[in-house]
Amino acid sequence: MIEFRYFAATVMLGMSSAAIFLNSLVVRHMFREREGFHKICVNKAVANVFIGLAFLVWAAPCSYLNFLYLPHYFNVFFGQIVGWGPYLMSGPFTQMCLAVNRAVAISFPYWFNKQHKVPWTKIILAGLWALAILMSLPAMIDGCSYIFFVESVSWSPTDTVCSRTLSEYVTNLVLLMAIISFSINVSSIIKIVRSAIGLGAAMDPNMSETRKKKRRKMFIQCVIQDCTHTTDCMLNTYVYTFYSAQWFQFLCGAVSALTVITLDGFLMSVLHQKSTTPSQTRESPSKSHTNGEFRKRGVSRVSATIMTTTTL
């Protein structure tokens, strides 16, 4: 009978390759987009690529070989990618940003649509990357690490007080942020429903139907991703303790994590809709228009451009 580790390695190899491919497409397609939502998606996709690479170049080969083919330091390094820095950016940090981004777009559409001199989204994302890296540094200390165990084909904290304590802190933070982002999304859903039945003004009435449809897609993507990341957190934190079989541990750990980042890439690719450029919405003026009418149309075009350009 073929050893389970060969099957596990093959699954990790295939799923990580798919995840890297899909998330790389997201980076390629959204990199030049101007909306804050797309900037957050690009950062999420980059973090997902890092996680996929950790499985592709470390976990899968080690499982095939049945030993760590590089020094222990590399095991610690890849563990910080899967369990700390990029994981925090892929999951709780960017999910919180997406939830807040959608909530502001729904509740304050006029403020959200106007151009801002300060690139708040870029500043916040840079700060979150710095925070994620800083939070992963303590785990680089010997005895405090999150590493890959070839014997059980799984990522786990080392059996030390330091490692267990750090893991508990991060787990609690992830759960707290998952609850907060989920609550924000529920609040946004309520506002959308109230708007649909005429009890609120969640959507800008002057916004085009295409723009409204695009924002609905963004919100649906945000909610689905939030649910999948919360489910993955629950599987890795609680469900895996229900049964000690190796295959069950593998499903709750590696398969769950790879499924989430693969689904992330798939959703962001499928639901992505490019921003409308000014040239696409511009109509050529008639020769019969007076100079005054031409100026008015020019002003309206500038207004339309501002309404369709989100730099927040």
Mind listing the pLDDT tens digit for each residue in 233-263? 888 878 888 888 889 989 999 999 999 999 9
pLDDT of residue 217: 80
Separation of alpha carbons 208 and 273, rounded Å: 15
Superfamily of domain covering 4-275: Rhodopsin 7-helix transmembrane proteins (1.20.1070.10)
pLDDT of residue 164: 87
CB 84 within 8 A of CB 92: no
- According to DSSP, the β-strands at 146-149 and 154-157 are antiparallel
Q: Where are the domains of the chain?
A: 4-275
Higher-pLDDT residue of 112, 80: 80
DSSP three-state, residue 148: strand
For the cut 90, the answer to whether the pLDDT of residue 56 exceeds it is: yes
> Which stretch of 21-35, 90-104, 129-143, 289-303 has the lowest confidence by average pLDDT?
289-303
DSSP three-state, residue 243: coil
Strands (E), 111-195: 146-149, 154-157
pLDDT of residue 302: 37
**pLDDT confidence of 40, banded at 50, 70, 90?**
very high
What are the angstrom distances between the C-alpha of 87 and each of 4, 73, 146, 278?
A: 26, 19, 12, 37
**pLDDT confidence of 270, banded at 50, 70, 90?**
confident
Separation of alpha carbons 102 and 225, rounded Å: 13
DSSP three-state, residue 171: helix
pLDDT of residue 205: 55
pLDDT of residue 62: 95
pLDDT of residue 230: 83
For the cut 90, the answer to whether the pLDDT of residue 69 exceeds it is: yes
pLDDT of residue 211: 65
C-alpha neighbours within 13 Å on the C-beta side of residue 85: 24
Higher-pLDDT residue of 112, 133: 133
pLDDT of residue 305: 38
CB 278 within 8 A of CB 301: yes
**Minimal CA–CA distance to 150: which of 64, 253, 240, 228?**
64
Residue with tokens 């994620």: 132
* Phi, psi values for residue 154, rounded to 5°: -155, 155
> Which stretch of 50-54, 62-66, 149-153, 218-222 has the lowest confidence by average pLDDT?
218-222
Per-residue pLDDT tens over the stretch 281-311: 333 444 444 444 444 444 344 334 333 333 4
Beta-bridge partner residues of 146: 157
* Phi, psi values for residue 192, rounded to 5°: -65, -40
> Which stretch of 67-71, 226-230, 255-259, 285-289 has the lowest confidence by average pLDDT?
285-289
Write down the mean pLDDT value for the chain: 81
